[in-house]
Every structure is written in C-alpha cells, then in structure tokens.
Amino acid sequence: MSGGVDSSATAALLLEQGYDVIGITLKLWPQDCVNRAEDKCCGPQAVTDARSVCHKLDVPYYLVDESADFQKHVIQYFADEYKAGRTPNPCVMCNQNLKFGRLIDRADQLGAEFIATGHFARVEGPVPPSLAPSDGEKVAKPGAGRYLLKRGKDLRKDQSYFLFSLRQDQLARIIFPLGEKTKSDTRDVARQCNLKTAEKEESMEICFVPDNNYGGFLQQANLVQKHRGEIVDVHGHVLGQHEGIEFYTIGQRKGLGITTPKPVYVVELDAENNRVVVGDEAALDRDEFVADRCNWHPFEQLTAPIEVTAKIRYNHPGAPATVTPLAGNKVKVKLHSPARAITPGQAAVFYQEDLVVGGGWIMR
C-alpha cells in the first residue's frame, strides 16, 4: 500500500471479493531522503494514509523497512546508469526487486498466498494447452502453463510497461484488482468506503526526486560529482564544455551552455570518452536498435522474428516493429518508421494488442 487511492481501493475490492487482506507498506526511503519525500509514494505521509485506510477497513497493517535494498537496487542503479551515459528507469527496477521481489518474501513469512497492488494491468493464466494458438497465427504463441501480462483496460492509466520484467513465478502470485477498472471507478470505490485517500492527487514524478531535478538529487546524495568534459558535434568538433554527462539526456535541447547557428540536441552520451555529442534534430531519428536482458511472457525465449508494437518509453504511443532474436538474450528491433530520441537505458516493451509479449533494455 503506497498511501494512494489506487492501493486503497485495491484493499477494499479484495475484501469485497472475500480475501483475507493484510496491508503492507514498504519503507523505501533512506533517512536523508525523507524530508524531500514527505507526501510521495511510500513516504512518511503516505504511511500515515495507508495506516488510516487499513484501520478504516479493519485489516492488519505492517510497515516493513526495505530502505537498504531500495538504496542498492534503485537509487544506486539510478546513479550508475547516468554515469554510464544511460537514462535509467527506476520504476521498473523497483517493481522487479522490491514491490514484486521482497514483498513476495514478506508474503511467504506471513503465510499469504498472493500479493496485490494498485497497478492498472492484468495477469491471466496459467494458459491451458487448448488455448495456445496454432503456428499459422501471427501472434505470440503462449506455452501451456504460462502466465500472461496484459494492458489494463484503462489505456490512459495502463502500467504494464513498468511490469514487463516480472518473472513467471512472480506473475503466478500477483492479483491486480484494478486491471478491469478505470481511474474514475477506482475513486468511486474509495468514496463508497469513505477512505481518506479517495480524492488524493497522484504524482507523476520519480518518487525520490519530487522536484524532477534529478541532477540536483544525484549531487545532494553524493552519488555523482561534477567533472568537466567536451561537448562535440557528430563530427567530433569541440563546441564547448560540460560538467558531467550525468546531467544530460538524449533529445535535450535547452541548458547545453553552447551557442550554435541552429538548434542542436543531445544525440549521444559517450561515457568512455566523457563527451556529450550534439547534432541537429534529424540526428535524433533512428529506426533500429538492440535491446538486451530480454524477458518474455508467452514463451521462455524468442526463437524467430516477430511483429509487435514497440514502446521505447512509457509515454511513447508505440510503433510497429520487427523483433529478431540475437545471441546472449538480446534482440534487434527494426522500427517500420524512424522514432525520435531512442534512449539507451530505457525499457523497450513489445505488445501484440493487449498482450505484453516481453521487453528488454535499450543498448547504446
């Protein structure tokens, strides 16, 4: 329970469906982050709100300290990715390692069969052999016994993108009560139960960077230090100096600190040579990339090319693409039309209609 309306409504719906419910909030914040995260996901105010909801619903509530793992698996990862010239996706890593990793361990300790969250997504399965499509169908053929991850019915709030890396053993333990509901439905559930979170606003920011100033956060947390390097064009000509590649992202135009005849954008972050590479807008458009550390839901491994809709970031609408398997759990993704600012470090998630076929991490 993150202290918001979605997880509050989830608890109420589970009670209505006859489950024995236990509310758990993972305390994720290192002590030096608390003041910056008072009312964010799993912050101090969120804990108060979650406890209040559990009291109202008359269910047990536990606050579990997982701040050490959050520091290791999310915050340190966040800093390391920027240092490597990649743009991290901390929500995916938090879901994979904390919310559906450590939380399952806690469920086992409490004798709980399932875990549930307020994500807008759906899990279906296990797939019976009779429902596996024939080889002639142009869809991902699910193996018998596989658990499938699908988009939430409310496509405006769908969060399946952030869940692509969940394993089969994790999906087998998950319930998403909001998967068939809209955001409006969710607030109605909370209102009907007179929960204090019913009208609570939601935040779209990274939870531990509430002001969206990730560079400032990295410096304040002593995770990166300023270090000078060159800003160059795509031909290697030096145009100026930067204070650290960690403070730049692919596609950035403002705040470069250089003067050029025409607008230029960050097109590459070269960590090995400590360089920020800039180019014109056309240099941002690409139609091919490689993704590694792939995870698949309908099957164990991709063995032949497949047609999908690929999302290269959460707010990307998705684009038709051909995904071809490579050695080492990698794939080549060929977009049917060029896309802007394909960003190393971000997740590329592959869909066929509502089904999440799988995904991987965009390589440089």
Tell me the per-residue pLDDT of 238-251, one tens digit each, with 9 for 90 and over.
Answer: 999 999 999 999 99
Distance separating alpha carbons of residues 157 and 203, to the nearest angstrom: 13
The least confident of 58-67, 126-135, 171-180, 239-248 is 126-135
Whether 202 is covered by a domain: the verdict is no
Question: Strand pairing partners for 53?
Answer: none
Indicate the number of domains in the chain: 3
Shared-domain flag, residues 246 and 356: no
Q: Kindly state whether residue 151 falls inside one of the protein's structural domains.
A: no
Mean pLDDT taken over the chain: 92
79 and 185 fall within a common domain: yes
Average pLDDT over residues 125-152: 77
**Distance between CA 256 and CA 252 in Å, rounded?**
8
- The pTM assigned to this predicted structure is 0.92
Which residues participate in catalysis according to the annotation? 94, 207
**Residues with Cβ < 8 Å from 137, sequence gap 6 or more?**
none
Is residue 333 situated within a structural domain?
Answer: yes
Per-residue pLDDT of 68-77, as tens digits, reads: 999 999 999 9
Does residue 137 sit within a domain? no
Question: In this structure, are 115 and 239 located in the same domain?
Answer: no
pLDDT of residue 40: 59
263 and 165 together in one domain: no
Interacting residues of 49 by C-beta distance below 8 A, sequence separation 6+:
3, 4, 8, 196, 197, 200
What average pLDDT does the segment 13-30 reach? 92
Task: Judge whether 353 lies within some domain.
Answer: yes
Which of 111-150 are b and which e, b meaning 16 or more Cβ less than 10 Å from the residue's Cβ? ebeebbbbbbbbbbbebeeeeeeeeeeeebebeeebbbbb
Question: What is the residue range of 316's domain?
Answer: 286-362
Same domain, 43 and 178: yes
Q: Are residues 299 and 355 in the same domain?
A: yes
Same domain, 70 and 102: yes
Select from 166, 192, 218 the last residue of a domain.
192
